[in-house]
């Protein structure tokens, strides 16, 4: 029962409210005295906790004579609450992100080390939904070091979030065979540059809020920069290369 209590705390219930909720689940319904006895707490402690559970839609009340009887709702309500909260959070994230972007005190450079740090930078690139990423993609470094399965898993996550990509890529047999042929399904438009003439050992991703992610699996570094001037400059370089590179 303790493990269930801990999981209830993880989804937002206080420790005491989780105990009251579990007690009421076992009873089905009961008076404050019944619930307090089952949960091994004093009766006066129950009132604010039951009120908290009512606000969450987990408990309702009815009358039995002069007594108030508390009735537990189906646990599915927990999932409904979480989904509602997630929906509300998604709705306000763009506004909050705009406020955050305008905060001059916020660090504008974030550096992460190790392969996990590289993936942390990658995850930042697709933290939102429904926008375009412009990317300078090195030949086969990500696949060689992180593995084909991991890279394709990341691509699927990007596609699920409806994040499209325009990628300037170095031409290699692996890129041609395993990736560019899936451009349409991967929401990606790709163009080639000559790998020998224009070596590109790191990946650079340009994405909303003037963000730039520079990643190197070989060096184990993920660098995130939030800067309008730098983003604008790199975006101009990208567009210049885009119109002059070979379309796939």
* Domain finish residue from 56, 73, 90: 73
**Angle, helix 15-27 to helix 43-55, in steps of 10 degrees:** 90
Domain range holding 41? 2-73
The answer on 213 and 134 residing in a single domain is: yes
The answer on 52 and 124 residing in a single domain is: no
What is the pLDDT, as a whole number, of residue 106? 57
Domain-embedded: residue 93: no
Roughly how many angstroms between the first and final C-alpha of the chain, as a whole number? 58
Domain-embedded: residue 99: no
**Angle, helix 15-27 to helix 32-39, in steps of 10 degrees:** 110
* Domain finish residue from 31, 58, 73: 73
Whole-prediction pTM:
0.57
pLDDT in tens, 178-193: 666 677 888 989 888 8
- Three-state DSSP at 169 gives strand
Q: How many domains does the chain have?
A: 2
The answer on 235 and 160 residing in a single domain is: yes
- What percent of the chain stands above pLDDT 90? 33
Domain-embedded: residue 227: yes
What single DSSP character describes residue 73? P
The answer on 240 and 143 residing in a single domain is: yes
* Domain finish residue from 57, 73, 89: 73
């Amino acid at each position: 029962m303790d493990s269930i209590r801990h999981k209830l705390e993880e989804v937002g219930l206080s420790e005491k409210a989780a105990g009251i909720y579990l007690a009421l689940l076992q009873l089905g319904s009961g008076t404050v005295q019944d619930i307090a006895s089952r949960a091994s707490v004093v009766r006066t402690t129950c009132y604010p906790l039951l009120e908290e559970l009512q606000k969450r839609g987990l408990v309702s009340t009815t009358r039995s004579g002069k007594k108030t009887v508390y009735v537990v709702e189906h646990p599915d309500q927990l999932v409904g609450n979480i989904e509602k909260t997630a929906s509300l959070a998604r709705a306000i994230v763009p506004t909050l992100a705009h406020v955050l972007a305008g905060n001059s005190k916020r660090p504008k450079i974030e550096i992460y080390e190790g392969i996990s740090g590289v993936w942390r930078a990658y995850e930042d690139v697709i933290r939102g939904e429904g926008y375009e990423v412009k990317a300078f993609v090195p030949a086969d470094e990500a696949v060689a070091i992180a593995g084909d399965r991991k890279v394709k898993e990341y691509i699927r996550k990007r596609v699920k979030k409806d994040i499209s990509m325009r990628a300037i890529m170095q031409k290699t047999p692996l890129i041609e065979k395993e990736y560019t042929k899936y451009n349409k399904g991967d929401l990606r438009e790709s163009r080639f540059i000559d790998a020998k003439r224009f070596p590109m050992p790191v990946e650079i991703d340009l994405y909303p809020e003037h963000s730039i992610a520079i990643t190197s699996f070989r060096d184990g570094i993920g660098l995130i920069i939030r800067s309008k001037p730098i983003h604008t400059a790199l975006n101009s370089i990208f567009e210049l290369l885009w119109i002059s590179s070979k379309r796939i």
